[in-house]
């Protein structure tokens, strides 16, 4: 018994220490008297898509140390290569296509066959296909690009964990563009930076340039020597006077890359079910590590009720790269009148994006005060701070969400139900704590037999 207690205490301290270590660099105060469900603050249009940005200066995003972006890529649209100062989790809300993470130094394993006497054929790193329900992990400072080869717009929402230890700059999202001329995006960045007190002095003096990708700051001759090309070609790299934005239309009907044929949904499901679970993280190298997992399929849910809904979680046990990013995700769906019982996030902030439908959400702080009691709907974001108690109650059309969490093994603790803290407390303690009878304490403990999801259609009065 004593050894078990010591082991539990050790594991608890280990989990909490690692969670704090990953986010200690830019720790901010979370003095939130009121939470708000936020829609994007700004919309930036490109030639073949739209980027929508939530202002990272909002109190709830500052508390969690994160930033959010939603990107819509039209058919045959190419989102140009870039990298960021913070690790990202990307969720595919709609559509399918490519989302390719490029790891410099790794082998170019996708190659065209060559014959003697032919010109040099193309070769590049692995092309990863994505579909609705996928989560993609992108480390800080690693380039990525995406392309929509489907028939519907490709919509992704991504969280940037600016408080993560991988970010050695300041607590502000920064994208470093390898191509294009994203003037409007950078103007928006300057506006947000000027709103923040820490950055007001250093950024006020900077003026917008005509060329804004990362090659623009170098002399053309230096780049010509580095790439062993002529100066005219280098000027095209710098994309001066390019007005297309950061999502451009591909000239040809389809992007010409080396990629395996698109698999059917059944084939993808079979590979996901049987092809990955032998990987434990030790066998994975930087070049071959798995960066994505689908959590949109109800058949793979961790918690499932045919009458109420389902929840799928993605943590570092399922996707080992998340251990480096210190992030995880939760995909949930509640049917009509379904409820996720009151609970709190033990070791992480939770940033919830509404995929579809609507719900009434209540959030309570450490003073027992409601900091949020309102309806959230499709496209809105709500931050649920660590340890704040929350309940989700779906409305008539149901409620689907994705939550990004700031710990690679985020834990939720229910307040009611079979696995709750209340259930674990002796009846006599409950009776004295709430000034109720033993019989009432017994009903509070044992009447609710569900663990996480329940229906409110037959609610007691």
Distances (CA, A) of 267 to 97, 221, 270, 271, 312: 16, 50, 5, 6, 21
Q: What is the dihedral of CA 303, 353, 405, 368, to 10 degrees?
A: -90
CA distance linking residue 260 with residue 263, whole number of Å: 8
**Of 50, 55, 381, 26, nearest in space to 192 by CA:** 55
Give tens-digit pLDDT for 369-383: 999 999 999 999 999
What angle do helix axes 427-434 and 438-446 make, rounded to 10 degrees?
Answer: 110
Q: Is 37 helix (H, G, I), strand (E, B) or coil?
A: coil
Instruction: Quote the tokens at residue 455.
Output: 């229906």
Give tens-digit pLDDT for 100-159: 888 777 766 655 666 555 556 666 667 788 999 999 999 999 989 899 988 999 999 999
Judge whether 81 and 218 are in contact, CB under 8 Å. Answer: no
* Spatial CB neighbours of 381, under 8 Å, sequence gap ≥ 6: 37, 38, 39, 54, 68, 351, 352, 353, 354
Whole-prediction pTM: 0.85
Residue by residue, pLDDT tens for the chain (461 residues) are: 455 444 444 444 444 444 444 554 555 567 788 999 999 999 999 999 999 999 999 999 999 999 999 999 999 999 999 999 999 999 999 999 989 888 777 766 655 666 555 556 666 667 788 999 999 999 999 989 899 988 999 999 999 999 999 898 888 898 999 888 887 777 777 777 777 655 444 444 445 456 788 888 888 899 899 888 898 988 888 887 888 889 999 886 667 775 666 665 555 555 555 544 444 444 456 777 889 999 999 999 999 999 999 999 999 999 999 999 999 999 999 999 999 999 999 999 999 999 999 999 999 998 899 999 999 999 999 999 999 999 999 999 999 999 999 999 999 999 998 888 888 989 999 899 989 999 998 999 899 888 899 987 644 43
**Of 58, 93, 54, nearest in space to 73 by CA:** 93
Judge whether 139 and 166 are in contact, CB under 8 Å. Answer: yes
CA distance linking residue 120 with residue 114, whole number of Å: 7
Q: Give residue 209's Cα distance to chain centre.
A: 31
How much of the chain is helix, strand and coil, in % rounded to 5? Answer: 20, 30, 45
Distances (CA, A) of 176 to 185, 306, 369: 11, 45, 41
């Amino acid at each position: 018994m004593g050894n078990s207690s010591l082991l539990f205490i050790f594991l608890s301290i280990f989990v909490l220490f690692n969670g704090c270590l990953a986010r200690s660099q830019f720790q901010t105060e979370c003095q939130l008297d009121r939470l708000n469900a936020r829609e994007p603050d700004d919309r930036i249009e490109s030639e073949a898509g739209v980027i929508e940005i939530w202002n990272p200066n909002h109190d709830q995003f500052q508390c969690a140390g994160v930033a959010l972006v939603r990107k819509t890529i039209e058919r045959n649209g190419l989102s140009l290569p870039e990298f960021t100062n913070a690790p990202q989790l990307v969720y595919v809300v709609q559509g399918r296509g490519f989302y390719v993470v490029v790891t410099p130094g790794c082998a170019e394993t996708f190659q065209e066959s060559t014959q003697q006497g032919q010109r040099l054929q193309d070769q590049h790193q692995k092309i990863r296909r994505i579909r609705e329900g996928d989560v993609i992990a992108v480390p800080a400072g690693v380039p990525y690009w995406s392309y929509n080869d489907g028939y519907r717009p490709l919509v992704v929402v991504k969280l940037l964990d600016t408080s993560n230890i991988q970010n050695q700059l300041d607590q502000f999202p920064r994208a470093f563009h390898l191509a294009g001329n994203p003037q409007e995006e950078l103007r928006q960045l300057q506006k947000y930076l000027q709103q923040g007190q820490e950055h007001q002095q250093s950024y006020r003096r900077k003026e917008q340039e005509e060329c804004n990708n990362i090659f623009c700051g170098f002399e053309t001759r230096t780049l010509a020597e580095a790439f062993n090309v002529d100066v005219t070609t280098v000027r095209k790299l710098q994309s001066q006077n390019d007005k297309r934005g950061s999502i451009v239309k591909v000239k040809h009907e389809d992007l010409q890359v080396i990629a395996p044929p698109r698999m059917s949904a059944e084939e993808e499901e079979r590979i996901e079910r049987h092809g990955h679970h032998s990987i434990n993280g030790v066998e994975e190298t930087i070049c071959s590590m798995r960066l994505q997992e689908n959590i949109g399929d109800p058949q793979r849910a961790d918690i499932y009720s045919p009458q109420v809904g389902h929840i799928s979680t993605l943590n570092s046990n399922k996707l080992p790269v998340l251990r480096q990013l210190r992030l995880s995700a939760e995909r949930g769906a509640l049917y009509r009148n379904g409820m996720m019982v009151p609970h709190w996030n033990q070791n992480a902030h939770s940033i919830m994006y509404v995929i579809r439908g609507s719900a009434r959400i209540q959030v309570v702080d450490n003073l027992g005060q409601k900091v949020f009691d309102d309806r959230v709907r499709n496209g809105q974001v709500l931050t649920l701070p660590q340890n704040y108690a929350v309940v989700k109650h779906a409305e008539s059309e149901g409620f689907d969400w994705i939550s990004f969490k700031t710990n690679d093994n985020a834990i939720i603790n229910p307040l009611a139900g079979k696995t709750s803290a209340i259930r674990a407390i002796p009846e006599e303690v409950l009776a004295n704590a709430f000034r109720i009878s033993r019989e009432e304490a017994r009903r509070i403990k044992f009447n609710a037999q569900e663990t996480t999801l329940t229906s409110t259609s037959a609610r007691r009065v």
